[in-house]
Amino acid sequence: AMSRFPLLLFLLSSVALGRSFNGLDDSPLTKEFLKAGLMHRSAEGLPTVTCLSRGLHQEPVLKECSVEARFDEVSAVCYTLWHKDGGMVQQGCLTKQDVS
């Protein structure tokens, strides 16, 4: 079954769970990541991760992914997509994704 799916998605450790930033506090995990320097605040004050981003056959660039203001828990993660035979295919960040 796994041979049908040659692509593997690795979610890296730059994961952040947040809450609405309309007056509510950041989640405990967001506070921990901010304190550890794994996240920073954007110009708008949103928790942000910096990810290496690279499309297929492109040069890598740094990309900022902010946890957008919402009332429920949201997340931002850096990811790397690998092909089992050909190595790295793509890197970037995902936002508004459930991470568990």
Every domain of the chain and the residues it spans: 2-95
76: pLDDT strictly greater than 50:
yes
Which of 38, 52, 57 is CA-nearest to residue 10? 52
In the predicted model, is pLDDT for residue 99 greater than 50? no
Looking at 10-14, 48-52, 67-71, which range is the least confident one? Answer: 10-14
pTM over 0.75: no
- Host H or E run for residue 29: helix 28-36
The label of the residue with tokens 């949103």 reads: 46
CB 51 within 8 Å of CB 78: yes
